[in-house]
Structure 1
Amino acid sequence: MARIIAALLCHGEFQQLPGIPSAQQPFALNELGRQQALDAAILLRDFASKHQLQLHPELDCSSSLNAWQTAKIIGRELHDSVNEPPTLSAYNRLLDTSMGSAANLSCAQIEDSLQADPRYDAPPENWMDDSNYRLPFAGAESHMESGDRCAEHIVQRITAIDATANADNIKLFVGHNKSLLHAAFLLGVISFDALSKLELHPCKPIFIERDNNGSWRQCGGLWKQLQAAS
């Protein structure tokens, strides 16, 4: 059986609106983000070479511009490292956690809106990082819900490749920190407690693989360790 490794990659830095949650903002990579994507291609190529893996030519990315641009740059840089020209496929299932109708409002504006609406309770103090909290607005979801759709996509895509692959492969998924982080938890790669202590570095892949029993484990890459609140 071929070894199929999923590379989970958070997009590069982008032109984020100041003071606004980053979730699904429709803006492009900045100069640093473009360089991070170039560096990611080197990391992927080196990991593939070290472990004698092929780079799967179809790169999956979120439909957000920053993730698509990240995957586009990586695909261009890895053009000579795959057996056929790389292609990009964008999916809404890999999007960041949706804020629903509160998208692109500041945290203060969101909290003011909740306070002004008699139907809603005040959000938890750490609501932005609460894995299971969902804003009570149309279209919003929790981080756990976004991680669930993301994990489902990863499993489906890896399973499809596994059924036909005759060589060991790395399959790239370019998405967003919170949804990929929670996908890793739901796949059993990290613990629930780790959700508040870890995040993905921009454009530094976390490599995971599924064993013959269907269990997932991390096989490469480093998480960013968050400092505990004082």
Structure 2
Amino acid sequence: MAKTYHAFFRHGAYHQWPGVPSARQPWALTEDGMTQAREGAALLARMLAKHGLSLAPVAFSSRQLRAWQTADLLIGALRAQGHDITELRETSALAERSLGSAANLTVARIEEALAADPRHAPPPRDWKSDSDYCLPLEGAESLMMAGARVATHLETFGQPDRVTIHVGHGASFRHACHHLGLLSRDDIARFSMFHARPSLICHEADGTWRHLAGAWKIREPKSEPKD
């Protein structure tokens, strides 16, 4: 098996509803988010030059508007620098954790719905950041389930000796990195991701994964996880 390389990005800042677990919100990037995406392209170009790597022709993003916009801006800036990217492909595999039928409800409304349903126990106090907790609602995932989905995507879509771009969401990428052996269980809670800054990883010929470049953001104690 040949080596494959992957650059993954959390989307840029966007018009996020307050009090709503952000998973599948449909809103666009802010002006700051657009700037972050263009700056992310410059950071990736420097990483490519440092490691002597070139980009794969197909890039991927989740179907959320903020991720697609981030990828579109990244690709436009990279093309302007002479990088040959021919296609941006959207995929549900890169989505953030699904809350199923509770999508885009506020935290208070979700907890109210569970309290009103005699089939369900109250969720744990820290349910939003609990890696293993899955809302008992149709279509919902745990963070670990979302991470496994993203990890499978990364394992599947790579081009030998090229860097494939993937634009998605912070929590699902962090949990994917745990599944790939790049982050410990404790690291998942300790780290976050900067908006639209690349992390470069390598899938080695022996099947293992290695981190090459890009810094994790240290999460402030007791801060809420962001997608």
TM range (shorter): over 0.9
Matched, 1:57 2:57: yes
Quick one: which of 192, 204, 216 aligns to 1:211?
204
The answer as to whether partners of 2:2 and 2:205 remain within 8 angstroms in 1 is: no
Match of 1:76 in 2: 76
List gaps (5 residues or longer) in structure 1: 163-167
Matched, 1:183 2:176: yes
Q: Could you say what the CA RMSD is over the residues aligned between the two structures, in angstroms?
A: 1.5
- Report the CA distance between 1:113 and its aligned residue: 1.0
Match of 1:165 in 2: none
The one-letter code sitting in structure 2 at the alignment partner of 1:171 is: T
Matched, 1:93 2:93: yes
Question: Relative to 1, partners in 2 of residues 1:78 and 1:178: Cα closer, same or farther, differing over 3 Å?
Answer: same
Superimposed CA distance per residue, residues 130-161 of structure 1 (whole angstroms, 9 cap, x where no aligned partner):
01101111111111111111110110002xx1
Distance 1:156 1:215 in 2: 14
Superimposed CA distance per residue, residues 44-70 of structure 1 (whole angstroms, 9 cap, x where no aligned partner):
111111111112221111011110000
Distance 1:85 1:62 in 2: 17
SS at match of 2:157: helix
Q: Sequence identity of aligned pairs in percent?
A: 40
- Report the CA distance between 1:84 and its aligned residue: 3.3
Distance 1:90 1:185 in 2: 23
Match of 2:37 in 1: 37
Distance 1:77 1:130 in 2: 37
Size of the aligned set, in residue pairs, is 223
Q: Which runs of 4+ in 1 moved over 6 A?
A: none
- Report the CA distance between 1:3 and its aligned residue: 4.6
Quick one: which of 217, 221, 224 aligns to 1:228?
221
The one-letter code sitting in structure 1 at the alignment partner of 2:56 is: H
Distance 2:44 2:78 in 1: 9
Match of 2:8 in 1: 8
Distance 2:217 2:118 in 1: 39
The answer as to whether partners of 2:61 and 2:68 remain within 8 angstroms in 1 is: yes
Matched, 1:201 2:194: yes
Match of 1:170 in 2: 163
- Report the CA distance between 1:178 and its aligned residue: 1.0
Distance 1:82 1:124 in 2: 50
List gaps (5 residues or longer) in structure 2: none
SS at match of 1:182: helix
- Give the TM-score normalised by the residue count of structure 1: 0.92
- Report the CA distance between 1:212 and its aligned residue: 2.4
Distance 2:185 2:81 in 1: 36
- Report the CA distance between 1:4 and its aligned residue: 2.7
